């Protein structure tokens, strides 16, 4: 059983498969990082405190050097900066309330949007290397 010691949660997290997730309450829970519905494989708090993470969200790097924003690294923040009255994702144009990737120049992405666009950019860059 894979265990994850998470930097923003006080208890260890265990990886759940689909059967374990369904047996853990009603099987419909939200990711504590991105806020979307969780599907297996995912991580759950061993203390049963209601903390769940998608595997992708759990493994998200604290700092991301994004190909679409090469000037500065994007830092994973638990909340938008306190100076913000409202945080909007620069990819999907929706409000950011939970974890975000943030750049000091004011660029912000939902965690899912940052990882999604990062994967697209990496794939496209690899394809261009073969041209």
pLDDT of residue 95: 93
pLDDT tens digits, one per residue of 1-28: 566 665 567 888 888 888 888 776 666 7
Distance CA 1, CA 16 (A): 8
The DSSP secondary-structure symbol of 17 reads: -
| DSSP symbol at 29 | -
pTM of the model: 0.74
CB atoms within 10 A of CB 10: 9
Task: Give the model's pLDDT for residue 130.
Answer: 44
Among residues 41, 80, 79, which one has the least CA distance to residue 57?
41
Q: Which helix (H) or strand (E) holds 127?
A: helix 111-129
Helices (H), 14-110: 18-23, 55-58
Q: What is the pLDDT of residue 18?
A: 85
Query: What is d(CA 126, CA 129) in angstroms, rounded to the nearest whole number?
Result: 5
SS3 assignment, position 4: strand
Cα–Cα distance measured from residue 31 to residue 19, given in angstroms and rounded to the nearest whole number: 17
Spans of the chain, pLDDT less than 50: 127-128, 130-131
What is 3-58's CATH number?
3.30.60
| Delimiting residues of CATH 3.30.60 domain(s) in the chain | 3-58
CB–CB of 81/54 below 8 Å?
no
């Amino acid at each position: 059983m894979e265990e994850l010691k998470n930097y923003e949660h006080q208890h260890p997290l265990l990886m759940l498969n689909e059967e374990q997730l369904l047996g853990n309450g009603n099987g419909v829970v939200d990711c504590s990082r991105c806020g979307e519905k969780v599907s297996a494989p995912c991580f759950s708090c061993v203390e049963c405190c209601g903390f769940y993470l998608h595997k992708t969200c759990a493994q998200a790097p604290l700092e991301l050097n994004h190909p679409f924003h090469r000037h500065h690294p994007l830092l994973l923040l638990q909340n938008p900066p306190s100076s913000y009255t409202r945080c909007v994702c620069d990819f999907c144009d929706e409000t950011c309330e939970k974890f975000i990737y943030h750049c000091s120049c004011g660029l912000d992405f939902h965690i899912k949007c940052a990882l999604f666009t990062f994967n697209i950019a990496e794939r496209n860059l690899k394809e261009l290397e073969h041209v």
